[in-house]
Structure 1
Amino acid sequence: MRERLLVLMIIMLATAFFGEMKVNPLGGTFRFSLGIAAFFFGLLWFSSVPVILTGFLTGTFILVFRVGLDLLMEYRPLLESVSVHLPSAFYYFSFAILFRVLRARDYLEFPLKMGLIGASVDFLSNLVELRVREYFTDFPPLTWQSFFMLLIFGVLRSFFAVGLYNSVSIRQIRAVGEVRQQELERLRMINTELYEEAFYLRKSMTQLEDITRESYRLYRRLLTSQHAESPTALTIAENVHEVKKDSQRILAGISKLINQEGLASQLPISELCELVMRANRKYAEMLGKEIQFTWSCYVSLSTNQIYALLSVLNNVVANAVEAIDESGKIVLNVQLDGRHIVFSVLDSGPGISQEEREWVFEPGYTTKYDEKGNASTGIGLTHARGIVQSLQGQLQILHDRGLWTHFEVRIPTDQLLRGEGV
C-alpha cells in the first residue's frame, strides 16, 4: 500500500512539473506540455497502480497545483483560475478512462500499436478538454488547423512516451541479462570444480572396486586354508564395498548438480575461451597484478565437454597468472591441427627450467608458497593432465618461445563433440 502511494505521488509530481514545460499554439489558456508524456509513461511503467484512480487523482492534483501557482504569483483570482485550469483536470480524467477502456497495457510488447493507441487517447482527451474549456470560458471554436495540430501533438507525445518506455525497458532487460550471465558464469565455474572432484571420484571408485574384489579373493583363500584372519579380510572387503556405495551416492549427487537446468549442454569453444580469460582477469586483479590477456580462436565448433575444458584451461591459465610476478602478458590461441584442436597458453612469467618440466605434472610438486610459507597442493596440473588424457589428448610444455612459457593442450576433435559425461 505504501509503495502504491509513493508511485502515485511520483506520477502526480512528475506530471505537474513537466506540465509547466508548455506552449500555447492555439492561443488563450489551452496548452501543450510534457506533463501528459510523463503521465502516460507513468501509467505504462508502473503497471501496479489503478489507471482510473491515478487519472482522477492526477487531474485533481494538477488543478490544485496550477490554481495554487496562480494565487501564489497573484496571476489570477481564485474563481478565474479554477475556470481556466478545471478543463485540464477533465483531460486527465478522460485520458485515464479511455486508456483503461482500450486496455492499452495489453499492448506493451507492441510499440507501434501502443503509440497509435496513446495518440488516439491523447487526441480524444484534448477534444474533451476543449469542449469543457468552451463551456467555462470564451475559448474559440475548433478549426481544421487546430484539429490537425491536436493530432500532430498527440502523435509526438505518445510516441515520445512509448519510446522512452521501451528504451528504459531495454536497458533494464540488458542489466538483468548481464546479471544472469554473471550468474551462469559463476555456476559454470562451480560446476567446473565439481567436475574435477567427480572425475577423480570416478577414478577412485574403479580402484575401490578392484580393492573390494581382491579383498574378497583374499578372504576366500584364507578361508580355504582355515586361516584365523579370514574374518578380518571379509570385514575389509565389506567396508571397502560400503565406501564404494557411499562414493556412488556422492557421485550421483554431484552429477545432478553439474547438469543444472538453465545451463546450456553445449557451448561454442570461442565463448568458453572468453569465459576462461575473463575469469582469470578477475583473478589477476584480485592478486593485484597488471596482466594483459589476449586470445584468439580460429575454431567455430561447440563442445559438450564444457567442464572438462574449463577445468583444464582454468588450471593452466591460473598457473600462468600465479607465475607472473607483478605485470606481464598471457596469450591463449586455439586452432585446428588436422583432427585435433590445439589450445596454446603462453605467459611472460619467469619460465620453467628443463629439470622442473619433468616434475610439474607429478602430484604434490609445487613451487608456489603463500605469505606464511605454506606450499600449495601441487595437484592442479596433475588434474588437468588426467582430464586431458581421459579425452585421449596430451598436455605438455613446449620449448619456450623466447621468454614465453608455452603449455599446449592437444585434444582430438571428436572427443570434444562426444556426449557429456561426468
Structure 2
Amino acid sequence: MRERLLVLMIIMLATAFFGEMKVNPLGGSFRFSLGIAAFSFGLLWFSSVPVITTGFLTGTFILGFRVGMDMLMGYGPWLESVYDHLPSAFYYFSFAILFRVLRARNYVEFPLKMGLIGASVDFASNLVELQVREFLNGFPPLTWQGFFMLLFFGVLRSFFAVGLYNSVSIRQIRAVGEVRQQELERLRMINTELYEEAFYLRKSMTQLEDITRESYRLYRRLLTSQHAESPTALTIAEHVHEVKKDSQRILAGISKLINQEGLAPQMPVGELCELVMRANQKYAEMLGKEIEFAWSCQVSLATNQIYALLSVLNNLVANAVEAIDGSGKIELNVRLEGRQIVFQVLDTGPGISQDEREWVFEPGYTTKYDAQGNASTGIGLTHARGIVQSLQGQLHILRDLGEWTHFEVRIPTHQLLRGEGG
C-alpha cells in the first residue's frame, strides 16, 4: 500500500512538473504540454496502480497545483483561476477513463497500436477539455486548423510516451540479460570445477573396484590355505566396497548439479573460448596484472563436451595468467586440422625449460608458490591431460615460439559431439 501511494505521488508530481513545459497555440489557458506524456508513461510503467483512480487524483492535483501557482504569482482571483484550470482536470479524468475502457495496457508489446490508441485517447480528451472550457469560459469553437493541431499533438505526445517506455524497457531487459548471462557463466565455471572432481571420482571408483576384487581374491586364497588372516582380507574388501558405494552416491549428486536446468546441453566452441578468456581476464585484473587477451576461432562446431573443454582450456589459460609477471599477452587459437580440432594456448610468461617439460604433467609437480612460500597442488595440468586423454586427444608443450610458451591440445572432432556419459 505504501509503495502504491509513493508511485501515485511520483506520477502526480511528474505530471504537474512537465505540465509547465507548455505552449498555448489556441490562446487562453488551454495548453499543450509534456504533462500527459509523463502521465501516460506512468500508467504504462507502473502497471500496479489503478488507472481511473490515478487519473482522478492526478486531475485534482493538477487543478490544485495550477491554482496555487496562480495565487503565488498574483494572477487574479482564485475562483477565476479555478474556472481556468478546471477543464484541465476534466482532461485527465476523461483520459484515464478512455485509457481504461480501451484496455491500453494490453498493447504495450505492440508499440504502433499502443501509440495510435494513446493518440486517440489524447485527442478525445482534448475535445472534452475544450467542451468544458466552452461551457465555463465561453472558449471559441474549434476550427479545422485547431482540429488538426489537436490530432498532431496527440500523435506526437502519445508516441513520445510509448517510445520512452520502450526505450526504458529495452535497457531494463538488457540489464537483466547481462545479469542472467553473468549468472550462467558463473554456473558454468562452477560446473567445470565439479566436472573435474567427477572425472577423477570416476577414475577412483574404477581403482576401488579393482582393489575390492583383488582383496576378495586374496581372501579366497587365504581361506583355501586356512590362513589366520583370511577374515582381515574379507574385512578390507567389504570396507573398500562401502567406500565405493559412498563415492557412487557423491558422484550421483555431482552429476545432478552439473546437469542443471537452464544450461544448454550444447555450446559453440567459439562462445566457449570467449567465456574462458573473459573469465581469465577478470582473474588477471583481480591479480593486478595488465594482460592483453586475444583469441580466434575458425571452427563453427558446437560441442556437448562443455565442461571437459572448459576445464582443460581454463586450466591452461589460468596457468598462463599466473605465469606472467606483471604484464604480457595470452592468445587462444582454435582451428580444424583434418578430423581433429586443435587448441593452442600461447603466453609471454617466463617459459618452461626442457627439463621441466618432462615433469609438469606429473601429479604434485609445481613451480608456483604463494606469498607465504606454500606450493600449489600441482594437479591442474595432470587433470587437464587426463580429461584430454579421456577424449582420445593429446595435450603437450611445443617448442617455445619466440617469446611465447606454447601448449597444444588435439582432440578428434567426433569426440566433441558424444554424450556427456560417452
Which TM-score band applies after superposition, normalised by the shorter structure?
A: over 0.9
Using the alignment, how far apart are the partners of 1:230 and 1:93 within structure 2? 95
**Aligned residue identity for 1:106:** N
Could you tell me which amino acid in structure 2 is paired with residue 66 of structure 1? R
Q: Distance in 2 between matches of 1:324 and 1:206?
A: 38
Provide the residue aligned with 1:10 in structure 2.
10
Kindly state the Cα deviation for residue 421 of structure 1 after the two structures are TM-superposed: 2.7
TM-score of the pair, normalised by structure 1 = 0.99
1:110 maps to 110
Paired position in structure 2 for 1:143: 143
Amino acid at match of 1:399: R
Please give the alpha-carbon distance, in whole angstroms, between the structure 1 residues aligned to 2:392 and 2:68. Answer: 82
Q: Do structure 1's residue 66 and structure 2's residue 66 form an aligned pair?
A: yes
| Alignment correspondent of 2:28 | 28
Q: CA deviation at 1:76?
A: 2.2
Match for 1:156: what amino acid? L
CA offsets per residue over residues 188-216 of structure 1, 9 Å max, x none? 00000000000000000001111111111
AA of the residue aligned to 1:59 = G
For the pair 1:294 / 2:294, whether they are aligned, the reply is yes
Kindly provide the CA deviation profile for residues 320-342 of structure 1, in whole angstroms up to 9, marking residues without a partner as x.
Answer: 00000000000110000110000
The answer to whether the aligner puts 1:53 opposite 2:46 as a matched pair is no
Mapped to 2, the partners of 1:70 and 1:27 lie a distance apart of 17
In 1: Cα distance, 2:12 partner to 2:64 partner: 11
Q: After superposition, give the CA deviation of every residue in 1:66-112 in whole Å (9 maximum; x if it has no partner).
A: 00000000012101100000000000000001111111111111111
User: 1:224 and 2:185 equivalent?
Assistant: no
Matched residues in 1 for 2:353 and 2:403: separation? 12
Which residue does 1:252 correspond to in 2? Answer: 252
Mean alpha-carbon deviation: is it higher for 412-421 or for 44-53?
412-421
What is the identity, as a one-letter code, of the residue corresponding to 1:232?
T
Q: Distance in 2 between matches of 1:365 and 1:420?
A: 29
Query: Any residues of structure 2 matched to 1:142-221 within 5 Å, and which?
Result: 142-221=142-221
State how far apart, in whole Å, the 1-side matches of 2:14 and 2:183 are: 36
What is the one-letter code of the residue matched to 2:76?
Answer: R
Name whichever of 131-140 and 182-191 sits farther off. 131-140
1:329 aligns with 2:300: no
Whole-angstrom distance in 1 between the partners of 2:218 and 2:94: 93
Tell me how far 1:29 sits from its aligned partner: 1.3
SS at match of 2:228: coil
2:246 and 2:354 mapped to 1: Cα distance? 43
1:29 and 1:188 map into 2 onto residues whose CA distance is 62
Distance 1:202 1:229 in 2: 31
In the alignment, residue 356 of structure 2 is paired with which amino acid? E
User: One-letter code of the match for 2:13?
Assistant: L
SS of residue matched to 1:345:
strand
- Residue segments in structure 2 that go unaligned for 5+ positions in a row: none
Q: 1:300-379 to 2 correspondence within 5 Å?
A: 300-379=300-379
Q: Deviations over 1:144-169 (max 9, x none)?
A: 11111111110110000000000000
Distance 2:420 2:146 in 1: 69
Give the corresponding residue for 1:419.
419
Runs of 4+ in 1 over 3 A off after TM superposition: none
Whole-angstrom CA distance in 2 between matches of 1:251 and 1:413: 27
- Aligned-partner Cα distance in 1 for 2:337–2:417: 16
Alignment of 1:114-133 (within 5 A): 114-133=114-133
Q: Which residue of 1 aligns with 2:394?
A: 394
Give distance in 2, aligned partners of 1:403 and 1:20.
68
CA distance in structure 2 between the aligned counterparts of 1:76 and 1:246, rounded to whole angstroms: 89
Distance 2:386 2:77 in 1: 89
How many residues are treated as equivalent by the alignment? 422
Give the distance between the partners of 2:28 and 2:37, measured in 1 at CA.
Answer: 22
Counterpart CA distance in 2 for 1:116 and 1:189 is 48
In the TM superposition, residue 266 of structure 1 has moved relative to its aligned partner by: 0.4
Tell me the CA shift for residue 138 of structure 1.
1.7
For 2:45, the aligned partner's letter is W
Q: Distance in 2 between matches of 1:79 and 1:293?
A: 72
| Structure 1 gaps, min length 5 | none
- AA at the equivalent of 1:282: K
User: C-alpha distance in 1, partners of 2:192/2:204?
Assistant: 18
Q: How much does 1:133 deviate? A: 0.6
Aligned to 1:25, what secondary structure does the other structure show?
coil
CA–CA distance in 1 between the matches of 2:116 and 2:262? Answer: 38
Tell me the equivalent position of 1:81.
81
How does the TM-score come out when normalised to structure 2? 0.99
Deviation string 1:346-383 (CA, Å, 9 cap, x unpaired) is: 00001000000000000000000000000000000000
Q: What secondary structure sits across from 2:280 in the alignment?
A: helix
